[in-house]
């Protein structure tokens, strides 16, 4: 069955037609804060091959949606109730469901969740050390994100190397790590929201929760001001004034050097923590826009991970395009660059629900 994979973001609606295990056509429709013109979407769809089903990337499935689900009456409203857990992403996903659903009203649609891959985290990795009531009443736990990318990249790594212990570094505008042991995610860096974990383009990653309280109690900032700063004015843009890793790498000024240093410091520490969750690592995978294209980031990360057995060949690393193995031959940890293919993983989930 040919599947249309829909990946809705605040700046674009990405449409990819997947046949078998490979995309056969792709197009991107520009968006203004997650809003698309119906005519532009219909025009884009008209230029794509006919499909038998649609799969939508949805960032947050909460506690209820732990596997792909057919989009039927009531499901969208339950997804809308989760928007507060991923305010930068969930509204765009819902807008994509609406606009494509109107354009293709007779085609079955399935929601595929970024949180689902992490739904089976061991309890010790999933739970925060906070009052039990928070879990019971509000579902406070570590959900994890980028699951579609982590699922695809970890499966690709096992096919490539056969190693059972995989650390996936999804490094894009958002960034997260996962520890995947024999196909099961046993730890990850993002938590209750996509704000926890690594340094990102505009997001801070993990900060002391006491800082959030202090900023509101003593600095006089509102909850909205703190949230906006941590989500949109932190990370690389907060340290270097730009969210573009290419610019950070190219610049030599103190701010850019610091930004890269902080980014890599957190990345190395996170990889080591993921390896610890599995008792070691067989394969390290870099994926996402930064992971696939920033050889400097891969090289700098590996430079501090030699104690785990990670060794990257600088010449091969600098020359890889698309996918490739960048590790030194014979290194105890295989190091790969894998192209992010959430669309292929979405199509896999759709077929699992609908058959075909």
Which residues have a catalytic role annotated?
114
For 50, which DSSP code? Answer: P
Q: Is 74 left (phi over 0), alpha (psi -120 to 50) or beta?
A: left
Closest CA to 24 of 53, 42, 3: 3
Residue 83 phi/psi, 5° resolution? -60, -30
CA geometry: angle at 146 spanning 269 and 135, to 5°? 85
CA 284 – CA 292 distance, rounded (Å): 13
Sheet holding 22-30, edge to edge: 22-30, 12-19, 3-8, 53-58, 108-113, 69-70
CB 114 within 8 A of CB 146: yes
Q: For residue 193, how many other CB atoms are within 10 A of its CB? A: 21
CB 61 within 8 A of CB 89: no
């Amino acid at each position: 069955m040919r599947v249309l994979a829909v990946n809705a973001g605040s700046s674009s609606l990405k449409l990819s037609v997947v046949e078998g295990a490979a995309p056969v056509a792709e197009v991107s429709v520009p968006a203004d804060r997650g809003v698309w013109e119906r005519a532009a979407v219909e025009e884009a769809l008209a230029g794509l091959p006919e499909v038998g089903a649609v799969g939508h990337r949805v960032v947050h499935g909460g506690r209820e949606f732990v596997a792909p689900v057919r989009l039927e009456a009531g499901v969208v409203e339950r997804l809308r109730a989760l928007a507060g857990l991923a305010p930068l992403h969930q509204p765009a996903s819902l807008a994509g469901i609406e606009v494509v659903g109107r354009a293709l009203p007779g085609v079955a649609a399935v929601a595929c969740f970024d949180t689902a891959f992490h739904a089976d985290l061991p309890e010790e990795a999933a739970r925060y050390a906070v009052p039990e009531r928070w879990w019971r009443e509000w579902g406070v736990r570590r959900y994890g994100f980028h699951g579609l990318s982590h699922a695809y990249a970890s499966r690709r790594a096992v096919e490539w190397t056969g190693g059972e212990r995989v650390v996936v570094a999804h490094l894009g505008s958002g960034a997260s790590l996962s520890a995947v042991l024999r196909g099961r995610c046993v730890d990850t860096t993002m938590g209750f929201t996509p704000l926890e974990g690594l340094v990102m383009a505009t997001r801070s990653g993990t900060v002391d929760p006491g800082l959030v309280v202090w900023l509101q109690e003593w600095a006089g900032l509102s909850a909205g001001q703190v949230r906006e700063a941590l989500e949109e004015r932190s990370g690389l843009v907060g340290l270097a004034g730009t969210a573009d890793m290419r610019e950070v790498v190219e610049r030599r000024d103190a701010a850019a050097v610091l930004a890269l240093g902080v980014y890599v410091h957190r990345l190395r520490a996170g990889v080591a923590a993921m390896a610890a969750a599995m008792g070691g690592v067989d394969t390290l995978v870099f994926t996402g826009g930064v992971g696939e294209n920033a050889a400097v980031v891969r090289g700098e990360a590996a430079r501090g991970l030699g104690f785990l057995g990670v060794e990257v060949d600088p010449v091969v690393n600098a020359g890889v395009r698309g996918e490739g193995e960048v590790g030194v031959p014979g290194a105890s940890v295989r190091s790969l660059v894998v192209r992010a293919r959430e669309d292929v993983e979405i199509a896999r989930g759709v077929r699992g629900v609908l058959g075909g």
